[in-house]
């Protein structure tokens, strides 16, 4: 009998049982990742049921009771449009006792908070930028232990939301203003980190017991002026016209000498173990001119669409998209729920 896979994902609205997702899946700006994973799961020969969640968890309970999945393929990023409630969905799946792909609820909890994950990494001697956390509603000041320039970010956001060139501050007034902007306009807690000048690399790891580092990707900043901070702002990631204008590109990292390759692998595998990650993850790194590797952010359950960084790196390593999806499912099946 075919392995039964329940693919769970989020939509910004509720749908009725048996809903036809073909319109959502066909739209390259919406559920394109779900579409890719769904096709790959079918190509692997699994029996697949689709389930989107919005603001009610009962459909998940019903699907687990009625479909009796062997495994859940988890693509939930949000619940009720709240980004950090993906961990709560996962915690519920854990209570239901069904093995699940991707990170555990504990890892989601740790990695959603850019300060908490750094505290653990520092304890394990993984290099991360020095930082200070500013919770909304509390006093804001510039701690003298934090060298300028700094970058000010929302503590718990993703996809560079709230990150622009103005996030880099090189005096105290700009520092305070940017933290306050995040508190008052975005209504979020903030983190200030020392700015790490250097290359922007993305390194993905796949595995549970045995870890495999995939070929590094890089964002380069084309014609952008050398004295402009070269960072992955919201526009640099998502605005095609802006990317074209400055020649910002994502591609396989070149000029990675064996020594740097070994260091990337060591840092990312240690970070993966320190945060107790599993399945697959992607690290956002900065590498200084002197070759020091800093973990800027661990991304658990990163985008696993066919054209995104992780799957592209897998392909370069000789793992087809279908094999990648099968690997992730098999790893989950081997784990006790």
Ligand X SMILES: Nc1ncnc2c1ncn2[C@@H]1O[C@H](COP(=O)(O)OP(=O)(O)O)[C@@H](O)[C@H]1O
Residue 142 binds which of Mg ion, ligand X, none (CB < 5-8 A, kind-dependent):
none
Query: Using the rule CB under 6 A, is 151 a contact of ligand X?
Result: yes
Does 231 help bind ligand X (rule: CB under 6 A)? yes
237-266 footprint of ligand X as x/- string (CB under 6 A): ------------------------------
**In sequence order, what are the residues at sequence separation of 6 or more whose Cβ sits closer than 8 angstroms to the Cβ of residue 118?**
128, 129, 131, 295
Encoded tokens for 286: 């900065």
Q: Of 284 and 309, which has the nearer Cβ to Mg ion? A: 284
Smallest gap from residue 237 Cβ to Mg ion (A): 9
Q: Which is nearer to ligand X, 70 or 309 (CB)?
A: 309
Secondary structure element (H or E) that encloses residue 322, with its range = helix 321-334
The one of ligand X, Mg ion, none whose footprint includes residue 274, by CB under 5 to 8 A per kind, is none
Among 286, 306, 326, 327, binds ligand X (CB under 6 A): 286
Q: Transcribe 244-276 into DSSP letters.
A: HHHT-EEEE-----HHHHHHHHHHHHHHHHHTT
Beta bridge partners of 50: 7
DSSP 3-state of 133: strand
| H or E element at residue 332 | helix 321-334
10 or 284: CB nearest Mg ion: 284
Residue 297 found at the interface with Mg ion (CB under 5 A): yes
Nearer to ligand X, 19 or 238 (CB): 238
Look at residues 77, 27, 21 and name the one whose alpha carbon lies nearest to residue 49.
21
To which H or E segment does residue 281 belong? strand 280-287
Segment lying near ligand X (by CB under 6 A), choices 8-16, 23-31, 66-74, 157-165: 157-165
Give the separation between CA 314 and CA 324, rounded to whole angstroms. Answer: 7
* Helical packing angle, 321-334 and 32-43, nearest 10°: 80
| C-alpha span between 318 and 42 (Å, rounded) | 21
Residue with tokens 């840092």: 267
Tell me if 160 contacts ligand X by CB under 6 A: yes
Question: Positive or negative CA dihedral for 10, 14, 20, 22?
Answer: negative
Least distance CB 60 / ligand X (angstroms): 26
Rank residues 142 and 286 by Cβ distance to ligand X and give the closer one: 286
- Residue 193 interacting with Mg ion (CB under 5 A): no
Q: Does 37 bind ligand X (CB under 6 A)?
A: no
> Which pair of structure tokens corresponds to residue 90?
């996962």
For residues 248 and 222, the answer to whether their CB atoms sit within 8 Å is yes
Interaction of residue 94 with ligand X, rule CB under 6 A: no
77 makes contact with Mg ion (CB under 5 A): no
Least gap, CB of 15 to Mg ion (angstroms)? 30
Give yes or no for residue 284 binding Mg ion (CB under 5 A).
yes
Which residues contribute to the site for ligand X (CB under 6 A)? 114, 129, 151, 153, 157-160, 163, 193, 195-196, 200, 231-232, 284, 286, 296-297
């Amino acid at each position: 009998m075919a392995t039964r896979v329940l693919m769970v994902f989020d939509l910004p609205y509720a749908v009725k049982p048996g809903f036809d997702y073909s319109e959502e899946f066909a739209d390259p700006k919406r559920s394109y990742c779900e579409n890719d994973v769904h096709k790959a799961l079918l190509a692997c020969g699994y029996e697949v049921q689709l389930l989107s969640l919005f603001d009610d968890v009962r459909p998940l309970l019903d699907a687990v009771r009625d479909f009796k999945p062997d495994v859940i393929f988890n693509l939930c990023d949000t619940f009720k449009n709240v980004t950090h409630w993906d961990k709560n969905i996962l915690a519920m799946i854990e209570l239901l006792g069904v093995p699940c792909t991707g990170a555990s609820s504990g890892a989601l909890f740790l990695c959603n908070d850019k300060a908490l994950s750094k505290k653990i990494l520092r304890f394990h001697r993984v290099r991360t930028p020095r930082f200070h956390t500013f919770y909304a509603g509390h006093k804001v000041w510039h701690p003298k232990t934090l060298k300028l320039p700094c970058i000010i970010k929302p503590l718990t956001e993703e996809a560079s939301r709230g990150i622009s060139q103005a996030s880099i501050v090189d005096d105290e007034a700009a520092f305070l203003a940017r933290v306050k902007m995040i508190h008052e306009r975005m209504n979020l807690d903030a983190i200030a980190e020392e700015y790490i000048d250097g290359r922007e690399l993305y390194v993905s790891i796949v595995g549970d017991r045995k870890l495999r580092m995939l070929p590094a990707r890089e964002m380069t900043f084309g014609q952008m002026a050398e004295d402009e901070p070269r960072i992955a702002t919201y526009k640099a990631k998502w605005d095609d016209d802006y990317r074209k204008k400055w020649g910002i590109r994502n591609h396989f990292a070149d000029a990675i000498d064996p020594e740097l390759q070994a260091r990337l692998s060591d840092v990312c595998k240690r970070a993966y173990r320190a945060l107790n990650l599993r399945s697959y993850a992607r690290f956002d790194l900065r590498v200084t001119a002197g070759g020091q590797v800093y973990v800027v952010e661990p991304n658990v359950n990163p985008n696993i669409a066919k054209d995104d960084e992780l799957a592209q790196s897998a392909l370069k390593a000789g793992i087809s998209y279908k094999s990648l999806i099968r690997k992730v499912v098999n790893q989950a099946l081997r784990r006790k729920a």
